[in-house]
Chain A
Amino acid sequence: MDQITSSNAVSRTEVEDFLYHEADLIDGWDLLTWLSLFEQECLYQIVTPGIPNADTANADDTLLLVSDNIERLDQRIRRILKKTAHVEFPHSQTSHMLTNIRVTQNAAGEIDVRNRFLTFRTKSDRTVQFFGHQIYKLTHRDGQLRIKIKRTMLDFDTLADQGKVTIIL
């Protein structure tokens, strides 16, 4: 059932188009549409900068910055869309850029993506940068790519320059 077939095989171009579409939704603050890209069983994580073994550190025993299932991700989105989420009011401007995208698909049809990213956030005349690498696990069913896991590793020491992570990365 889960074998790669002509119907669920994906090309790197298709994955890139999907990720660029995702980035556009975030930068356009169309976050409810962005949320619809996720599987119901999903994980959205941002790893605390400066921790060892960032790619594999587990939220069960390590303090991450974000570790959301679909319910909390939904709450996160609804929160930052509100005027009462003061830190994102007025909304910051963001610019997500993706590069070094590599796609592998295993025999079971699971799609692993690794990429590097650079995101700018501007608020109140001040711009900060978030950069690092990301690991996705995607699914591909009925011609539709969905996100099962999106995990962001920030490749710097501390949030001394950024202060906070209140945008979607």
Chain B
Amino acid sequence: MLETNAGHSGFLEIDRPRRTFRVRRDAYRSPEIYVEGMQKVFNRCWLYIGHESEVEIPGAFQRRRIASRDIIFVRSRNEGVKAHYNSCSHRGVTICREREGKQHNFTCPYHGWVFNAEGKLVHTGMAGGYPDNFNEDGRYNLIPVERLDNYRGFYFVNFNPNAISLFDYLAGARDMIDMICEQTEVGQTLIGRPHEYVINANYKYLAENSYDGYHGIETHRSYFDFLADRLKAAGQEEQLNAILADYPAGGVGGGLGNGHGFFESWVPNGKPVASWIPPWGEEARVEIERIRARIYAQQGEARAKRICENQKNLIIFPNLVINDHVSVTVRSFQPEGVGRMRVTAWAMGPKDESPLLRKIRLDNFLTFLGPAGFATPDDNEMLELAQSAVTHTPSIWSDISRGMKADDDLMTSHAHWTDENQVRAYWAQWDRIMGGAETLEAR
């Protein structure tokens, strides 16, 4: 059966007997579809706003723009972590203009209205002019974002008051987050300022790219050259040759429910927790072996191997990537138009990491990742080339069929990491939300 209206959005064409899965390119290039997607998808999904390590002490705040909404993400003295819209209840002026900081009160620069971190209006500037009961119903407090919740320190917002819980929303992605948390007994922390950059492409291209096991060898040929040189210097080039001999068999990928997806594989580029490589030296080896032994003792061999050795790329639908390979990386991307997105990428590591391993983590991050790394810029180039071409050519369809089987459950099926099950899971969810088959509300 040819499903041209699988989730009712009309953007997918799924031909199970022919094992093809196609997406209408208007989904990447149409300004109207972009607006509709922001209204439907970004107004219904839980969206990552920040990590607990950014708001550890009362008054610590981050100014964030999430789905075109300006938000103050702050830990208050009395009510824990809060998310307020960053707009004065008086005349709308942006109150918080710093990127980050620590303060218990936020003062509007226009007329001097002051709000505390809980969001309460505590001062109206010049004395007089208002009755005592002016704000007795709280109407002049900062407006809180409709929903705010966290899973193991990863905070998300939702603009739909009736949305399902974050716990339910994350579905199979929770286990992947758990494995990152299980790297440490004291918690993970974001390390300093992130990389922040723009890619001139539709945000869905970055989602697809972030757990695409198929593109690696071609797009990142020059990175693999670098890896081969490094392994050769350590007399370990056979490691890479063994992987390249049967690349698809080296990992698994697929959907995790609600549009989330992942791949998990093994490539010898080292993980500070906890997979040592020779360039890091003997002192690091001793320390990494100690961490590794603890995790094996706590988690059992099968899970510990996944935590310590495997690289894992996770996408939480629609715009959060948590990668666990050369370093743990948290990367969120905010659409800024049909062909533009803003990417913010943090390095993450255990709070109690030694200075030596922290240094190795950050150094390893820079080999592959970031807008000046040896791999990420080539990814971004591919996305921009794709955006340019779909905008300037009349072709109707893009193909996401690799590895498709006739009876696949599009949301949850797993296969080789080089197949595209995880990408199909993303599109299946996008289609369901756009078409109205999925509301992400409690039924």
Please tell me if the beta carbons of A166 and B222 are within 8 angstroms of each other in the complex. no
Task: Verify if B380 is at the interface (C-beta below 8 Å from A).
Answer: yes
Residue B347 at the chain A interface, CB threshold 8 Å: yes
Q: Which listed residue, B198, B347, B380, touches A87 by the CB 8 Å rule?
A: B380
Choose, from A3-11, A54-62, A105-113, A134-142, the stretch at the interface. Answer: A54-62
A35 to chain B, nearest CB (A): 15
Contact pattern, B 360-403, Cβ under 8 Å of A = 1, otherwise 0: 00110111001110101110111000000000000000000000
Within 8 A of A (CB), among B244-297: none
Interface membership of B144, Cβ < 8 A: no
A75 to B226, Cβ gap below 8 A?
yes
Any chain B CB within 8 A of the CB of A103? no
Quick one: which of B223, B371, B380 has the most chain A CB within 10 A?
Answer: B371
Q: B219 at the A/B interface (Cβ < 8 Å)?
A: yes
Residues of B within 8 A of A76 (CB): 374
Chain A, residues 43-56, CB within 8 Å of chain B (1/0): the string is: 00010111110000
Taking a contact as CB atoms under 8 Å apart, the answer to whether A164 and B371 are in contact is yes
Q: A61's contact among B192, B195, B365, by CB below 8 Å, is which?
A: B192
Given known contacts A48-B195, A75-B374, A164-B380, A60 and B355 CB-to-CB distance under 8 angstroms: yes
Contacts of B347 in A (CB 8 A): 63
How distant is the Cα of A161 from the Cα of B195 in the complex, in angstroms? 13
A114 to B342, CA, bound (A): 32
Say whether, besides A67-B363, A164-B371, A87 and B197 are in contact (CB < 8 Å): no
Contact present for B225 and A82 (CB under 8 Å): yes
Interface centre among A49, A50, A52, A86 (most CB of B within 10 A): A86
Interface string of B50-72 (1 = CB under 8 A from A): 00000000000000000000000
Known: A61-B359, A85-B222. A163 touches B367 (CB 8 A): no
B residues near A61, Cβ cutoff 8 Å: 191-192, 355, 358-359, 362
In the bound complex, residues from chain B placing their C-beta under 8 Å from that of A127 are none
- With an 8 Å Cβ cutoff, the count of chain B residues facing the other chain is 39
Q: How far is the CA of A158 from the CA of B65 in the complex (A)?
A: 14
When the two chains form their complex, are residues B222 and A159 in contact, meaning their CB atoms are under 8 A apart?
no
| Distance (whole angstroms) from the CB of B344 to the closest CB of chain A | 9
Chain A interface, >50% SS class: loop
Selected from B194, B229, B358, B377, the residue in CB contact (under 8 A) with A164 is B377
Interface centre among B197, B372, B382 (most CB of A within 10 A): B372
Complex contacts, B99 vs chain A, CB 8 Å: 50
Q: Does A165 contact B (CB under 8 A)?
A: yes
Q: Judge whether B193 is part of the interface by a CB distance below 8 angstroms.
A: yes
Measured in the bound complex, the distance between the Cα atoms of B363 and A157 in whole Å is: 22
Q: How far apart are B200's CB and chain A's nearest CB, in angstroms?
A: 7
Q: Which 7 A-B pairs have the closest CB atoms?
A: A159-B197, A158-B196, A165-B372, A60-B359, A87-B381, A65-B372, A84-B221
Further 6 A-B residue pairs, CB within 8 A, beyond A60-B359, A65-B195, A78-B225: A48-B195, A61-B192, A63-B191, A67-B363, A67-B366, A79-B223
* B residues neighboring A (CB under 8 Å): 99, 191-200, 219, 221-223, 225-226, 229, 342, 346-347, 355, 358-359, 362-363, 365-367, 370-372, 374, 376-378, 380-382
16 A-B pairs, CB-CB below 8 angstroms? A48-B193, A50-B99, A52-B193, A61-B359, A64-B362, A66-B372, A75-B229, A79-B374, A84-B222, A86-B219, A87-B378, A159-B197, A159-B371, A160-B196, A160-B342, A164-B197
